[in-house]
Structure 1
Amino acid sequence: MIKILIADDEQIVVDSVKFVIDNNCDDVEVVDFAKSGREAIEKANMLKPDVVFMDIRMPGIDGIEAIKRIKESHNDIEFVIITAYDYFNYAKEAINLDVVDYLLKPLNKNKVIDTVKKVKRLVEKKREDMAKELEMKEKMTAILPYIENEMIYSLSSSNFKQEDIDFYGNIFNIKLDMGFAVVVLIDKDSTDSDIFMGNVKVHEKLMHLKEYIKSLRDCLATILLDRIIVYVPTVAYDDLYIIKNDSISFCEMILKEMRNIEIGVRIGIGRPYETAYFSKSYDEALFAIKTGSDAITHFDDIKLSETKELDLNYDTAELVENIISNSIDGALINVNSIFKKLQHNYEDSIEMIKSKVFSLLIEVMTKINTYCDVTSVLEENLIIDILKADEIDSLKGMFSKFVSNVITKLHKNREKYYTGLIAKAIDYINENYHKDIKLYDVAQMLSISYHYFSKMFKEETNCNFVDYITRVRIEKAKEFLQDETTSVKEVCFKVGYNDPNYFSRIFRKETGMTPTDYKNRVSKGGVAFES
């Protein structure tokens, strides 16, 4: 229903417009009328109509001024001007006020009807657009937390590109040129282990804390296993000393809130880096937690001479490559090498090694999930077992089992996936055998590598790609050769060959006879045979 307010000091005009609308316009209601500009303003504020039909000349405040004042608080109301004066005298002001149309007195019935229909379409279009916008906002509100999680996972695992930074910056309306990491790590000694078993109350508290953190300043945050990871944007030219002090004050407010909700935590703060290198700040924040003795520790406050940070980027990349390549032996060799380095670097400090294992676990899952969802492999008891572990060999065994399970899941998923792809490839060949089909083109069409497609095709069909196409073409050629009106040369071109002599050689190799012999045998009622 479209609501209309009529503002005119002539009752006959009001009655005429109302009569025309009531008798000719569906889903339109005249909700009231006003006889002065002031009354029009008051009733517009009270009734909030969709449209106001406004006379220009009325006692006191004129129509133009009334429109201006109403638009100050109700910019969504549409206006139609009613005037006994030449429209062009008011054209400039009317255009500035964005009025929909004008009606000249004496009023024309058809013009009134057309104007009402016009403004009705406009109001309905605005409502539709608003509904779509609200729906879009609701969808974005629902999906934003997942996008936020994905961004922070990618940042923390060095899996980030400049185009990603620009994309996320636009979505969250935050400058992502530079930032630092804050990691809020749940203290297992002061928190019941049920937190890692899906305790609803604890999860609700963590969700509350996440929203509280984001209310303190512009930042992005996500809950990951036993921690909350926070990305805090900064400005490149800000003083590092000021950034450090601000970050500590920020974390003091977080710590106070955590104590209020009775969850023990330790908080680490990394140094600011360009966003593409946020993973360095994240590693520093974790290192600060494990090395520092206070509830809040900034990386700069650690005596780094006592402990050297270990760079496992190359080892992790090699491990992921072996997992993707389905090489269990290679992956377990990587795991063994990583744990030797951890043990050597941290001198049997089980807490530091556990911290690194957690980071490694997250990074492996983040990178492998782009190929296959392996979240289900992460058993809920694994987190608790890692936290409870007090021996390095035990930790290594848990991580090795996790890696083996990931490889198994990935391999099963890949087998299922590639079986479907080979079926698609066969369908493509059957439909396009008459074209110049290349193995590379089919692999590209399926979005898999040339070499892997060749290997998988032979395993699935027990035949290499070229031989398979040849078989399909020869079978099709046999069908065409049974038509007496089709020549051997025509059949040659119909099945994808350009040289009749080459076609004849291939046909004889596959069937033991030339295409002409085959055609003659079939036409005489003989039985064609294959050697």
Structure 2
Amino acid sequence: MIKLLIADDEQIVLDSLKFIIENNCHDVDVIGFAKSGREAIEKADALRPDVIFMDIRMPGIDGIEAIKRIKEIHNDIEFVIITAYDYFNYAKEAIKLDVVDYLLKPMNKNKVIDTVLKVKKIVESKRENMIRELEMKEKMITILPHLESEMIYSLASATFRQENIDFYGSIFDINLNIGYALVVLFEKDDNESHLDNLAGNVKMHETFMYLKEFIKNLRPCLAGILLDRIIVFVPVESDEDLFTIKNTSIDFAEKILKETHGKESSVRIGIGRPYETSYFSKSYNEADFAAKMGIDSITHFDDIKLSDKEELILSNDDEELINNIVSNNIDTALIKVNSIFQKLLLHYNDDMDLLKSKVFSLSIEIIARINSYCDVTSVFEENLIIEILRTNEFESLKKIFSRFVSNIILKLHKNRERYYTGLIAKAIEFVNENYDKDIKLYDVAKMLNISYHYFSKTFKEETKCNFVDYITQVRINKAKEFLSKDSMSIKEVCFKVGYSDPNYFSRIFRKETGMTPTEYKNKNSKGGVAFGY
């Protein structure tokens, strides 16, 4: 049914049109009349017609102005103008408003019928198009999650075809040129029974789906669920600073982790570095490695590296052992050693020479991989070759290899301590030399090329003091030293130790020492005590 509103200030025109339409045009309902432009605007808003027949010459607001105002609010309404021949030139302005047709007074019955059928066809066509669009949108809403999951899988598995990047970018309305991977890993509870796991499958699926949507609402990204994890592609701009990307990614991860609090399964989040889309699988491998091997609930791949930024791709048992070694997890590493040796025994049976050859090859592989973190060649050279060659017992060979793995982990641990102690030493040296400047934790972390979250945590672990408090201690100790010199005023000391507001400096000084700078200076000058730091 097509709804029609007729606007004309002549009653005879209203009655004539109503009679012609009702008796000759099926499925067209005349739902109202208006005798002025203002009334036409009000009726259009109240009745929401599909079509309006509008006389262009009416008292007050004329038909042209009424059409303009109605279209501003209801752009889907179609218009047919009614005009006398004398005003036909004036009606040309209405043509610019994209009206369907016009009717000249006095009106011809056949012309009215033809015009009604014409506009009816237009309205019905628009309705059909709208229905098709809605159906298409519904299909897309159904298909998009599957398409998104398939794309995430193809990106992570390095099977994505680069030539499709513009197509997928337009579908998801997202920049797919460069991005990093974020992996939300749900850790399994090994103590749960099989029945408990089955009972929890539905609930876990709901958790996954909820968290996936939560992640996508935080920022533009793609997310897919794969087994025990959610894999996220987070797009970045090509000119975006890597340090900023790293810290922004950790902020993003913290919001996700906060949302998982209270859930039954514990969550670990790993973050990879940004790459072009064709190399996204590298970022995924890094994020997966960081999620599994990181010490904290959130770990960026860069924060578990000890030196050069070498690529680390892991898959089989041997590589999982290397992961355990890198993460300094002796217990897990030795369990993995036991698992490897059980498989070796089954595979090679009693062929001790092949067993020793495999262990020897694995040892070389471990040395090659771990040397990217620190030089552990000496561990391999400590009679390992001779011990492997001399032994002819399976258990003895396993003990030799286990000791070799333990020694590497110990050396890595010591190297890590030296590495991060060295970073904190650099930070302390920087503060001691630049205490008079505006020092921010973010800037120091950037200088050291580690995330500010990780730097803050490591600094406190090493110094037993947070970074801001340490800067304050250095500045106040320096202030004591300068205040002991009669030649410097309180204001000069304030600026010299990095504060721009003397009043704020005085408050901090009193909080730290129990005295105002003036009291301290007076006491020091009387007692003649020299203070250092």
State the TM-score, normalizing by the size of structure 1: 0.59
Q: Is the 8 Å Cα contact of residues 286 and 312 (structure 2) preserved in structure 1? A: no
Q: Is the 8 Å Cα contact of residues 79 and 101 (structure 1) preserved in structure 2? A: yes
Take 1:258 and 1:52, find their aligned partners in 2: how far apart are those partners? 55
Deviates more, 1:181-190 or 1:65-74: 181-190
Take 1:188 and 1:102, find their aligned partners in 2: how far apart are those partners? 72
Q: Is residue 245 from structure 1 mapped to residue 247 from structure 2 by the alignment?
A: yes
- Which residue of 1 is the match for residue 151 of structure 2? 151
Q: 2:302 aligns with which of 300, 303, 310?
A: 300
Q: Is the 8 Å Cα contact of residues 160 and 276 (structure 1) preserved in structure 2? A: yes
Q: Is the 8 Å Cα contact of residues 6 and 32 (structure 1) preserved in structure 2? A: yes
Q: Is the 8 Å Cα contact of residues 350 and 392 (structure 1) preserved in structure 2? A: no
Q: 2:204 aligns with which of 198, 202, 205?
A: 202
Take 1:342 and 1:88, find their aligned partners in 2: how far apart are those partners? 85
Change (3 A) 1:32 1:91: closer
Q: Secondary structure at the match of 1:14?
A: helix
Measured after TM superposition, the shift of residue 117 of structure 1 is 0.1
State the TM-score, normalizing by the size of structure 2: 0.59
Q: Is the 8 Å Cα contact of residues 181 and 284 (structure 2) preserved in structure 1? A: yes
Change (3 A) 1:215 1:123: same
- Which residue of 1 is the match for residue 350 of structure 2? none
Q: Is the 8 Å Cα contact of residues 187 and 265 (structure 1) preserved in structure 2? A: yes
- Which residue of 2 is the match for residue 42 of structure 1? 42
Change (3 A) 1:394 1:96: farther
Q: Is the 8 Å Cα contact of residues 350 and 390 (structure 1) preserved in structure 2? A: no
Measured after TM superposition, the shift of residue 209 of structure 1 is 0.6
- The one-letter code of the counterpart of 1:115 is T
Within-5 A mapping of 1:60-139: 60-86=60-86, 88-139=88-139
Take 2:191 and 2:31, find their aligned partners in 1: how far apart are those partners? 62
Q: Secondary structure at the match of 1:391?
A: helix
Q: Is the 8 Å Cα contact of residues 293 and 327 (structure 2) preserved in structure 1? A: no
- The one-letter code of the counterpart of 2:339 is E
- Which residue of 2 is the match for residue 254 of structure 1? 256
Q: Is the 8 Å Cα contact of residues 190 and 264 (structure 1) preserved in structure 2? A: no
Change (3 A) 1:351 1:279: farther
Measured after TM superposition, the shift of residue 164 of structure 1 is 2.1
Measured after TM superposition, the shift of residue 85 of structure 1 is 3.8
- The one-letter code of the counterpart of 2:202 is V
Q: Secondary structure at the match of 1:52?
A: strand
Measured after TM superposition, the shift of residue 215 of structure 1 is 0.6
Take 1:5 and 1:112, find their aligned partners in 2: how far apart are those partners? 14
Within-5 A mapping of 1:89-488: 89-189=89-189, 194=196, 199-305=201-307, 310-311=312-313, 339-340=317-318, 342-343=320-321, 347=325, 391-392=339-340
Measured after TM superposition, the shift of residue 303 of structure 1 is 2.8
Q: Is the 8 Å Cα contact of residues 195 and 203 (structure 1) preserved in structure 2? A: no
Q: What is the CA deviation profile of residues 405-453 of structure 1, one whole-angstrom value per residue up to 9, with x for unaligned ones?
A: xxxxxxxxxxxxxxxxxxxxxxxxxxxxxxxxxxxxxxxxxxxxxxxxx
Change (3 A) 1:104 1:390: farther
Q: Is the 8 Å Cα contact of residues 6 and 30 (structure 1) preserved in structure 2? A: yes
- Aligned identity (percent) is 68
Q: Is the 8 Å Cα contact of residues 285 and 313 (structure 2) preserved in structure 1? A: no
Q: Secondary structure at the match of 2:9?
A: coil
- The one-letter code of the counterpart of 1:242 is T
Take 2:211 and 2:345, find their aligned partners in 1: how far apart are those partners? 34
Take 1:12 and 1:107, find their aligned partners in 2: how far apart are those partners? 11
- The one-letter code of the counterpart of 1:230 is V
Measured after TM superposition, the shift of residue 60 of structure 1 is 1.0
Take 2:344 and 2:49, find their aligned partners in 1: how far apart are those partners? 71
Change (3 A) 1:157 1:167: same
Take 2:199 and 2:311, find their aligned partners in 1: how far apart are those partners? 31
Measured after TM superposition, the shift of residue 93 of structure 1 is 2.3
Q: Is the 8 Å Cα contact of residues 321 and 337 (structure 2) preserved in structure 1? A: no
Measured after TM superposition, the shift of residue 310 of structure 1 is 4.1
Change (3 A) 1:302 1:11: same
Q: Secondary structure at the match of 2:261?
A: helix
Q: What is the CA deviation profile of residues 494-526 of structure 1, one whole-angstrom value per residue up to 9, with x for unaligned ones?
A: xxxxxxxxxxxxxxxxxxxxxxxxxxxxxxxxx
Measured after TM superposition, the shift of residue 205 of structure 1 is 1.3
Take 1:184 and 1:16, find their aligned partners in 2: how far apart are those partners? 71
Take 1:397 and 1:175, find their aligned partners in 2: how far apart are those partners? 51
- The one-letter code of the counterpart of 1:251 is A
RMSD: 3.3
Q: Secondary structure at the match of 1:211?
A: helix
Take 1:198 and 1:397, find their aligned partners in 2: how far apart are those partners? 37
Take 1:54 and 1:389, find their aligned partners in 2: how far apart are those partners? 87
Change (3 A) 1:131 1:251: same
Change (3 A) 1:151 1:29: same
Q: Is the 8 Å Cα contact of residues 37 and 60 (structure 1) preserved in structure 2? A: yes
Q: Is the 8 Å Cα contact of residues 165 and 276 (structure 1) preserved in structure 2? A: no
Change (3 A) 1:345 1:179: closer
Change (3 A) 1:239 1:47: same
Measured after TM superposition, the shift of residue 246 of structure 1 is 1.4
Measured after TM superposition, the shift of residue 43 of structure 1 is 0.9
In the alignment of these two chains, the number of paired residues is 343
Take 1:200 and 1:129, find their aligned partners in 2: how far apart are those partners? 39
- Which residue of 2 is the match for residue 378 of structure 1? none
- Which residue of 2 is the match for residue 507 of structure 1? none
Measured after TM superposition, the shift of residue 4 of structure 1 is 0.2
- The one-letter code of the counterpart of 2:108 is N
Q: What is the CA deviation profile of residues 10-62 of structure 1, one whole-angstrom value per residue up to 9, with x for unaligned ones?
A: 11101100000000000000000011111111111111100000010111111
- The one-letter code of the counterpart of 1:9 is D
Take 2:140 and 2:343, find their aligned partners in 1: how far apart are those partners? 40
